């Protein structure tokens, strides 16, 4: 049996987008994606997910997405543990996007990275 790490999120962008560059000059973008769950007899619950997008895919997302945009994100989970400035142990969970599909508007746009650059330097940029 082989391992499988795949996440699919359908939600809306919850933050203003700020395209950044790593120390090595690679582009990246942090997205906050809101999804909702509904349980019988309870109110809607909002869940927030940190999504990291890299390279040319990050540049395209920064150009065309905005806060409130509907997106479908496919990727993998990355769990990191580190000590913060006060020495406390912190666990960070992010989705490393492999595919971002823009939903709504006139047409959906599917953005897939050109190469496997999405995993490079992800640890540096998810903190």
pTM: predicted TM-score of the whole model, two decimal places? 0.78
Give the model's pLDDT for residue 15: 96
Domain assignments of the chain as residue spans, ordered by start: 7-126
Give the model's pLDDT for residue 114: 55
CATH class of 7-126: mainly beta
Percent helix, percent strand, percent coil in the chain, to nearest 5: 15, 50, 35
Give the model's pLDDT for residue 105: 64
Give the model's pLDDT for residue 26: 95
Question: Is residue 29 classed exposed, middle or buried when 0-12, 13-18 and 19+ CB atoms within 10 A define those classes?
Answer: buried
Instruction: State pLDDT tens for residues 98-120.
Output: 999 999 765 455 666 655 444 55
Are the CB atoms for 17 and 66 separated by under 8 Å? Answer: yes
Is pLDDT at 122 greater than 70 in this prediction?
Answer: no
Instruction: State pLDDT tens for residues 50-99.
Output: 999 999 999 999 999 999 999 999 999 999 999 999 999 999 999 999 99
Give the model's pLDDT for residue 2: 85
Instruction: State pLDDT tens for residues 27-52.
Output: 999 999 999 998 888 889 999 999 99
Give the model's pLDDT for residue 31: 96
């Amino acid at each position: 049996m082989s391992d499988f790490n795949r996440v699919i999120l359908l939600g809306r962008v919850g933050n203003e987008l700020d395209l950044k560059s790593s120390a090595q000059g690679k582009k990246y973008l942090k997205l906050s994606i809101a999804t909702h769950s509904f349980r019988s007899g309870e109110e809607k619950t909002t869940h927030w997910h940190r999504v990291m997008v890299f390279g040319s895919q990050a540049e395209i997302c920064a150009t065309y997405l905005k806060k409130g945009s509907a997106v479908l994100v496919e990727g993998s989970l990355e769990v990191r543990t580190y000590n913060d400035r006060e020495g406390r142990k912190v666990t960070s969970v992010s989705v490393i996007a492999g595919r971002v599909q823009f939903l709504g508007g006139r047409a959906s746009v599917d953005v897939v990275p050109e190469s496997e650059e999405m995993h490079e330097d992800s640890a540096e940029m998810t903190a």
